[in-house]
Structure 1
Amino acid sequence: MESLYEELKFEIFRYTETPISLLLLNRNWYSTSQDPQTRAEWLMYKYGRAHALFHAVRLGKSFITEKVVQGLIARGAIFSRYFIQRLVMQFGIQNHKSTPNCSWAANLPLSAFTKLMTEALHQLNGNIAVKGNDMELFQFLTAATLPINHASPRFFDNLNEIENLILEYKFIPFPYRPKILPTTENYPSSDGYENNKQIHLLSRAVLIYPNIVKYWKQIGYHEVCRDLNDIVIKGMFMTFFPMTPPANWVCPTPKILAEKLKELINVGFKLNDNVIKSTVKLFKLKFNIMGEAVINSFIIICGDRVTKIVESILS
């Protein structure tokens, strides 16, 4: 009976959004919260294999231990070379005296850091390139400095290297920040989250070659479409409707827009109500120019229910 009770507590903890709420409710949950296997399972369930290690480090020395890292390894957390590069770059870094310990990896215990490095060397066959930066390499390979219509040829010239970066070195971007900071974002960010600029460049790569998400899914990053969904769909429309159109710009037909949307949907992206609403709001001031094409492309994909959604926003 006691083992069943402990197993039930383990399951409840696993599905809890914020475990601190359980600790405040009942002090008996404290021992459950201290168990490294319980913590590892909670991280994996809440954040997935791709981002469990990032959040374990983010939560700091009061949460992560060598045993928690071992629990994540046993559950298949993904060791990305980019994760290790950022970890080495920010481990133990103390920022300004007014904001102590705010670097993402500042509070990581040495024993946990050592365990992470040892496992990364094993999983990546010793090639962790600690002085490199796979985000910058990805941006170079995907021609991020060029306009998107000029980037495609270079992107496909480098496709084998892009595939290798993801499949062999498990390149996975860090999670994007839940809220955009009002101030200028530095890179790398002190809180660890991926900056808005990097996320936009990743979404641009998806728009050039939607099948790139299949590489990420192949290594276990199944949440990639969920993580990038809104920014990719809105980015698609921004490529068709640039804020400053060139002289030879021609308004795309609903069929062209729908075909591109279907291409994205086929690899896992979703044209849900929230995306439709945010897209309409984004282009609200220009809706007299491109509104009909956008609405009709939505209707091709989702049916007539789109009309009521758009009317509620424009009214």
Structure 2
Amino acid sequence: MSLVLLNRNWYSTSQDSHARAEWLIYKYGRAHAFFHAIRLGNNFITVEVVQVLLAKGAILSRYLAQRLMIQYGTYDPKLIEMRTKYNNNVDIPTGNPWSSGLSLPVFLKIITEVNNEMKDEIAFRGNDMELFHYLTAGTHAINDAPQTLFKNLQDIEDLILNKKFVPFPFRPRIAPSYRLPSGRTSEHYPSQDGYENNRQINLVSRAILICPDLVRLWKKIGYDEVCSDMNKLVMEGSLIVCFPPNPPNDWVCPNADFIVEKLQGLIKIGFQLTDRVIEDSIRLLESRIKIVGESLLDAFYKILGSSTPEIVKLKLIEIRSSSKS
């Protein structure tokens, strides 16, 4: 039996709208408080919780309303039965969408609040993630993307600052991947469990690499966790840009100072060169470590100094020993 049922005080606190809202913001931040409140379902989120979240500065974005419009409610079981029976080659999702547990009053409260905030620019039938994809040149190769992105920068700023666009959280590793009845892992968009798929999260990290000032815009609206959320993808992405998997014929391995400059630029705005980033980067470049390793590992040393993890020292010794033999 849970603690709240054993202790009346705990139970009373757990039912309090202010306590629930404060817990959501403390655990998930203002940017994702509403997402997780909705994910936790009708037994957790109430009209009062929505009101308190708004009063405490939780971000209510147009994108959230758009996703709710797409995924609110449950499937018709009879229709699912018929589709399963007569469409043998079609994967039929099982379960209900992430927002299906919302009560109608809560759904209407959220939609009304977004409508009041956005006024004539609500675009319920739009999709701000898709819009962000096009504005940030997601259809272009990364070398060709900056020109288009900076051309659209004013629209991107409007999307973030005025429409409060924040990507949904990406799927935690402990969460099971959604699988279709065929056994394949689903990357359908929008996802059943609400979390952003890898494709969408990679799109956001790529946009940050092209225009790091996007971090400032997100922090300005209260998305303070943007760097911690995107840290691994952005830092490793920066190294992939330095050491492309399929380098052109005229590619020259960058020196340590060049890599330091790239990483320090990201560190200054809140990203971190963590042990995990270092270890994953070494594994990622393992097949070319004899070519790129000296520059890469020297850069890590220059940034971290005495706090450089042991794996860097061991790899440097390995590279230098092999070059002498």
TM-score, length basis structure 1:
0.88
Letter in 2 for 1:208: I
Counterpart in the other structure of 2:85: none
Q: 1:302 aligns with which of 291, 301, 304?
A: 304
Q: 1:107 aligns with which of 98, 101, 121?
A: 101
Counterpart in the other structure of 1:250: 252
* Two-structure CA RMSD over aligned residues (Å): 2.2
Structure 2 residues not aligned, in runs of 5+: 82-91, 178-183, 319-325
**Paired residues of 1:79 and 1:123 also in contact (CA < 8 A):** no
Distance 2:131 2:27 in 1: 29
1:299–1:311 distance in 2 versus 1, CA, 3 Å: closer
**Paired residues of 2:42 and 2:101 also in contact (CA < 8 A):** yes
Q: CA deviation at 1:307?
A: 5.9
Helix, strand or coil: the match of 1:270?
A: coil
Counterpart in the other structure of 2:56: 75
Answer yes or no: is 1:238 the counterpart of 2:240. yes
Counterpart in the other structure of 1:32: 13
Counterpart in the other structure of 1:274: 276
1:278–1:31 distance in 2 versus 1, CA, 3 Å: same
Q: 1:42 aligns with which of 19, 23, 44?
A: 23
Counterpart in the other structure of 2:156: 162
**Paired residues of 1:142 and 1:154 also in contact (CA < 8 A):** yes
Higher Cα Rg, which structure: 2
Q: CA deviation at 1:274?
A: 2.0
**Paired residues of 1:295 and 1:306 also in contact (CA < 8 A):** no
Q: CA deviation at 1:306?
A: 2.3
Structure number with higher relative contact order (C-alpha < 8 Å, ≥ 6 residues apart): 2
**Paired residues of 1:33 and 1:39 also in contact (CA < 8 A):** yes
Letter in 2 for 1:177: R
Structure 2 counterparts to residues 60-99 of structure 1, below 5 A: 60-94=41-75
Counterpart in the other structure of 1:130: 124
Distance 2:38 2:94 in 1: 16
Distance 1:209 1:22 in 2: 47
Distance 1:100 1:202 in 2: 29
Letter in 2 for 1:37: H
**Paired residues of 2:97 and 2:193 also in contact (CA < 8 A):** yes
Q: 1:218 aligns with which of 203, 220, 229?
A: 220
Distance 1:25 1:261 in 2: 51
Counting aligned pairs with the same residue, the percent is 51
Distance 2:309 2:53 in 1: 46
Q: 2:37 aligns with which of 44, 56, 70?
A: 56
Counterpart in the other structure of 1:284: 286
**Paired residues of 2:170 and 2:201 also in contact (CA < 8 A):** yes
Distance 2:314 2:73 in 1: 50
More moved, 84-93 vs 51-60:
84-93
Q: CA deviation at 1:178?
A: 0.2
Counterpart in the other structure of 2:323: none
1:250–1:24 distance in 2 versus 1, CA, 3 Å: farther
Counterpart in the other structure of 1:196: 198
Distance 1:215 1:244 in 2: 33
Structure 1 residues not aligned, in runs of 5+: 1-19
